[in-house]
Amino acid sequence: MTVVKKQNRTIHAEKKDTVMTSLKIRKKVGEAWAFLENPVYEKGVLKSANLLYYNADKNKVLQQISKYKKGHYAIRFFGTIDTKQVYII
C-alpha cells in the first residue's frame, strides 16, 4: 500500500463523497488497483474510503494522482497476491 499526500494544485477534479466499505470496494474493483481518498484504517486494516478511480494497470492509476489537490490518498491493490512473487512497496 502506498499513501500519497499531494500539495495544492490548480487542477480540480470532481469530488465523490460516497464512502464505501472495504468489502464494497473489493467487489467493485475486482483484480485491480484502486486510488482511494480519505482511507480509514482500524488496527492496520482498511475499513472504508472514497473510491476515486480503479484500473488493472497500475500506471493508469498513478496518473490520477496529479488530478487531485491536497488531501489524504492511498493506492491499493485489491487482487490476489502471488505468494511466490516478491513485491517491492
Q: Where are the domains of the chain?
A: 2-77
What DSSP state is assigned to residue 66?
A: G
What's residue 70's pLDDT? 86
50-67 per-position pLDDT tens digit: 999 999 999 999 999 889
Q: For residues 40 and 63, what is the distance between their CA atoms, to the nearest angstrom?
A: 23
Q: Are 86 and 56 in contact (CB under 8 A)?
A: no
**Cα–Cα distance for residue pair 30/78, rounded to 1 Å:** 6
Q: Is the pLDDT of residue 79 over 60?
A: yes
Identify the pLDDT of residue 17. 60
pLDDT greater at residue 11 or residue 6? 6
Closest CA to 9 of 64, 74, 76: 64
